[in-house]
Amino acid sequence: MNIIMMGAQGTGKGTVAGLLSEKTGWPQISTGDIFRKNVEEKTELGIEANKYMASGNLVPDEITVPMVANRLNEEDAKDGFILDGFPRTIAQAEKLDEILKEKNKKIDMVINLTTPREETIERILTRRVCSNQECKATYNLVMHPPKVEGICDKCGAELVQRKDDSSRESINKRLEIYDTQTAPLVEYYEKKGVLRTEEVSTKVNRLGNNVADDVLRDIKGE
């Protein structure tokens, strides 16, 4: 099964995608992680991508799309995948459809996560990620703190705050970009009949693990 995780930053896309990947064996393909790895390694792609990421803007399609296409060709994605952070625009979605059509594949489910805006901002400000790129575990200092402060439960590496997670100004800019460029994808996939919208919020006592459990039960037909 081929799945797309949608939702503004801080809604828990990565958490849900990680849980689904762990239970199904389908790889979690996050463009954000790929970009950050290239930035850290100072590759040509990373240097170009960082110019956009540092200012809170989306990385252009000429960098993003070929990267995703190559990733989908890898062996571990042949039986299914979970895209986390792509597509972000209608143009990217159309390009993804073309890529999959050439492989006689399609998107089977789009999980759209929603969270109240102020809660989203607080989640991002208190988010910490594992510095080990092979691990990629995500924590929240309030909702899902590590057992040992500053240390990843899974691999023992240092937890860090992403640079673009540290200020309300940067976060608000990213959320505004999401509203104008990515939110139209809701209608795009709704028309295709593959959209599933789930609210993730402490106000309704429903978190990412609840969503992941429900999706897994539906996939298994339980």
Which residues are the active-site residues?
13, 88, 127, 162, 174
Rounded to the nearest 10 degrees, the angle between the axes of helix 44-53 and helix 61-72 is 120
How far apart are the C-alpha atoms of 49 and 65, rounded to whole Å? 13
**204 Cβ contact list (under 8 Å, min separation 6):** none
Structure tokens at 45: 């792609």
**147 Cβ contact list (under 8 Å, min separation 6):** 153
Alpha carbon distance, N-terminus to C-terminus of the chain: 16
Tell me how crowded residue 34 is: count the other CB atoms within 10 A of its CB: 22
Question: What is the radius of gyration, based on Cα positions, of the chain?
Answer: 17
How far apart are the C-alpha atoms of 20 and 211, rounded to whole Å? 10
Please state whether beta strands 2-7 and 109-114 pair in parallel, antiparallel, or not at all (unpaired): parallel
Length of the chain counted residue by residue: 222
Residue written as token pair 């910490």 = 128
